[in-house]
Amino acid sequence: MEEDALKFWSDFERETGERVVARSVGTWYEEGNEERGVWGLVILTGASFRFKYLPSENWFASMFKAARKGSARTIEDITVPRERLRDLVEPPRTLASRLFGSAFPRFTLSWNEGEKLRSESFAIDPSTGLLPRLREALAANKP
């Protein structure tokens, strides 16, 4: 299993030409669907922020998939060059949100996409160190 993970990350770096700085399993909450996100990998490289969708085909997920046949959608990966990152909003984690909320803290990341500012919400494993590295990337973009 560990060999598979090492191969995955080695292949990722070779295919993208980017060195991975931090990574985490996480959830992307699409605008308008704030309650049910999609799972994937949240990746920060030396050149970009990425969300790589990982389709789940476990038996439990497949039961719900069969029940909502007509609502199939295509989920595209997100890739944002680091220089386009603009803002990171991390809501404070209260005692109640720690006890009754998600184990993974949510944050909203904003970036320039053409002439518009795009914002998306994510949740990641806080033990991975990705959020501090993302804060550093954003600080480097501030004038």
**Model pTM?**
0.82
DSSP assignment letter at 17:
-
Residue 33 has pLDDT above 70, yes or no: no
| Structural domains of the chain, with CATH | 20-141 (2.30.29.30)
State residue 1's pLDDT score: 67
31 or 78, which is more confident:
78
Provide the pLDDT for residue 64: 52
Look at residue 124 in the predicted model and tell me its pLDDT. 94
| Phi, psi (degrees; rounded to nearest 5) at 73 | -140, 155
- Average pLDDT, rounded, for the chain: 84
- Report pLDDT for 30: 81
Confidence band of 83 (pLDDT split at 50, 70, 90): very high
Q: Is the pLDDT of residue 97 over 90?
A: no
Nearest to 109 by CA among 124, 90, 125, 87: 87
Burial zone of 134 (CB within 10 Å; 0-12 exposed, 13-18 middle, 19+ buried): buried
Distance separating alpha carbons of residues 106 and 92, to the nearest angstrom: 10
- Least confident range from 6-15, 16-25, 82-91, 95-104: namely 95-104
**42 in helix, strand or coil?**
strand
CB-based contacts of 125: which residues, under 8 Å, 6+ apart?
A: 24, 25, 26, 103, 104
